[in-house]
Amino acid sequence: MYQFKTRPLKDHITTIRQLLDENNFSAAENIVELPGSGSNRIYFRIYFHDSNRETLIAAFNPDVSENRAWLVFSRHFKNTGLPVPEIFARDEGMQYFLLQDLGDTNLLMLLLNSGLTERVKEYYRQVIGDLVRFQTEGIKGLDMNVAYPVKEFDKRSVLWDLNYFKYYFVKPHEVLFDERRLEDDFNVLADRLLKADSSFFQYRDFQARNIMIHNERPWYIDFQGGRKGPLQYDLVSLLYQARAGLPQSFRNELYGLYLKKLEETVPGQAAQFEKYFADFIYFRLMQVLGAYGFRGLIQRKSHFLKSIPPALQNLKQLLKMSPVDEMFPELHRIFTQITGLDQYDDQDIPADKLTVSINSFSFKKTGYPQDTTGNGGGFVFDCRALPNPGRIKELKDYTGLERPVIEYLQDKSEVNRFMTEVFRLVKQSIGNYLERGFTHLQVNFGCTGGKHRSVFCARQLSDFIGMKYGSEVGIRLKHIELEKED
């Protein structure tokens, strides 16, 4: 669709360097492409010769209409005092942008890595307050004429999402249904959704992957699809995000907190909000299942395939709490079939043949890990040039799996630069190995003691591969020195 989608990497980097020069930034030491997502957007991290200087993010998106909405919304939210990344410069064609770097940690990653700790819970509580501000304060004075692809939540856009579910999830699974009766249910649901007050800003994709954790607080990205619409959709997106798997008790706590904040901001709105909330849960679940079907079943992107089982589990729970058999009989028939699909019973997608063995080790104590596959080994990354937490009194008794060391290393630009290059190299090999049908790749990280830097780096790579490839690639993670001490 877009002629720039296949533009060579070197051309992107040349354009970014020109943009830096035109806007009086220092020359970049290195420009590294970051892991992609499900969209056409491409992101790069810009490093400068002065290691004390903060890195920047360069973004490329060929869709100018989407970029215009994002640019106008960003400036407005920034002026409103909402925590969104600052935009420093753009090119004349409005396809390249220089942005504030918010780091690599989003709320979903933090939740998956550390569990639902009190720290993670507190971030979610902060997010609830920010959501109410986006929806109620963010809409004031916002130019909705630039909104893309639609300006407001209307029946046509609702039916788009419902048909997305039908064509990309229901039909590929060969579910039995009556087309005419399903259309009747779609129309009844759409009419119910449109009864909710639609005078607010609807973020559209308000979920933990789009909430960055930077300087100990949440920041927000990917709101370019926002429109004027009802409140319920965004809270559902956050609370029922499939990969997050929030327990119902915590969802209930956040739901109560949201109603309290909303009533303080817009008195009298809470009762109307509750009336249609369950309808929006069903609607959002269908919308994301449609997206997972398209990106996963059709485009074969493993992250989206991995999200299907927990989304279906959310649907099972919702059917018990808010049955739809009387109001939406054909939808109920479909839901009964898809929640019983055999291929998702174990809530896992069968792994492909490639397994990546990731080891941390001590150069001094254990030496290079042995290869047990007969392939001769693989990558060996020397972490000894990185800052050493083992030399810091307060950190030496922790390991690279524990929060104090993780936070110390994540804060170091040279560590982030090192891991970005590791990701790039390993990603290249994984792609090649998958194409050629290879079954094993070994990646080793060594440091002096084998307890801090190498452990941290091995875990970071494991998380990166898991997020990018999901069940397409198997992972074996071993911390040799830690296991030896145990």
Read off the pLDDT of residues 440-450 as tens digits, 9 standing for 90 and up. 999 999 999 99
pLDDT of amino acid 432:
87
Structural domains for the chain: 9-100 (3.30.200.20), 107-344 (3.90.1200.10), 355-485 (no CATH)
- Residues 6 or more apart whose CB falls under 8 angstroms from that of 421 comprise 32
pLDDT of amino acid 374:
66
Angle between the 277-292 and 302-321 helix axes, to the nearest 10 degrees?
Answer: 150
Based on C-alpha coordinates, what's the Rg of the chain?
24
Integer Cα distance of 207 and 124 in angstroms: 11
Integer Cα distance of 202 and 82 in angstroms: 15
Integer Cα distance of 4 and 18 in angstroms: 17
Distance of CA 101 to the CA centre of its chain: 16
Q: What is the mean pLDDT of residues 167-183?
A: 94
Q: What is the pLDDT of residues 320-350, one digit of tens each?
A: 989 998 899 999 999 999 998 876 754 443 3
Phi, psi of 476 (to 5 degrees): -120, 115
* Contact yes or no for 44/32 (Cβ under 8 A): yes
> If residue 42 lies in a helix (H) or strand (E), which one and from where to where?
strand 42-48
Phi, psi of 135 (to 5 degrees): -70, -40
| Structure-block tokens of residue 288 | 């994301």
Integer Cα distance of 435 and 441 in angstroms: 13
Q: What is the pLDDT of residues 1-30, one digit of tens each?
A: 333 346 788 899 999 999 999 999 999 999
* Contact yes or no for 440/377 (Cβ under 8 A): no
pLDDT of amino acid 451:
94
pLDDT over threshold 70, residue 208: yes
